[in-house]
Amino acid sequence: MGSVGNVLPLTADGVFKSFGAKRVLNDVSLSVKPGEIFGLIGLNGAGKTTLIKIILGLLAQDNGKVALFDQNVHHPKTRTNLSFLPEKFQPSSLLKGREFLSLSLSYYGKKYNHAAAIAGAKKLDLDPGVLDHRITKYSKGMGQKLGILSAFLTDAPLLILDEPMSGLDPSARIRLKDYLMDYAKLGKTIFFSSHILSDIDEICDRIAVLHDNQMTFVGTPEAFKKKYKQQSLERAFLKAIGEER
């Protein structure tokens, strides 16, 4: 983990958030361990993106505490330890792929390495040749891969990815899962949300289920399936939200 040591990369304790009279997060708590792949799941509108925005310091919670590597999320130093990919990612169409990567890396005080970019692009099944093309020529999937690549190249101790599988075909999803697992083997930590529960089930060490504004489960995918006596995470989730309703 380098300078961040063995402290917990991410903790949320008793987080509440409302927008007007609507309660979005109700006493949400979780902690993510070093070197862990941690998945956040829930229906649309469950509060996943709101929680991620609070974790990033982009939105203030009403009550509760959130820390990144034992520091308040609003502390500037926390930014150097994480890389974030939003759900609706759209890089500037005015830049070439390699220019975007260079700009992203500059925020971390790092220089663009074309050989590393080519290797990473190949891992994601992105034609390395398009790094010299303007992003305006990219498809949605290519733009998504570029954003994912930029996150990996920062070598940040913590990746926070909001629906990273969005726009990827099955082949690219498999490649991304392999890349995520390889990254975690380096001692890095990954926190991501996804609607594709089979992917969550396959690669996550632990999961958190956000439903009806509350954290209804935190633990291993296997424990969640066992709790609801189902073979797949998808069916366990459907049973869980049915019972809780």
Question: How is residue 134 annotated by DSSP?
Answer: B
Residue that the structure tokens 């969550």 belong to = 200
What is residue 96's three-state secondary structure?
strand
pLDDT digits (tens, 9 = 90+) for 122-156: 999 999 999 999 999 999 899 999 999 999 999 99
Structure tokens at 61: 């919670």
169 three-state secondary structure:
coil
What structural domains and CATH numbers belong to the chain?
2-244 (3.40.50.300)
Token pair in block for residue 184? 């975690």
H or E element at residue 208:
strand 206-211
**Which tokens is 59 given?**
């939105």
Q: What is the pLDDT of residues 73-103, one digit of tens each?
A: 888 888 889 999 998 888 888 899 999 999 9
Rg (C-alpha) for the chain, rounded Å, is 18
- What average pLDDT does the structure give for the chain? 92
Q: What digits encode the pLDDT tens for the residues 34-72?
A: 999 999 999 988 899 999 999 999 999 999 999 999 999
pTM tops 0.85, yes or no: yes
CA distance 33 to 219: 12
pLDDT at 91: 84
CB 79 within 8 Å of CB 4? no
What single letter denotes the amino acid at residue 198? Answer: S
pLDDT of residue 80: 87
Q: With 70 as the cut, is the pLDDT of residue 5 above it?
A: no
Tokens of 239: 């049973």
- pLDDT tens-digit profile of 163-215? 999 888 899 999 999 999 999 999 999 999 998 999 999 999 999 999 989 99
Cα–Cα dist 155/101, whole Å? 13
32-41 pLDDT, tens digit each = 999 999 999 9
pLDDT digits (tens, 9 = 90+) for 235-245: 999 999 887 65
* Residue position matching structure tokens 């632990």: 206
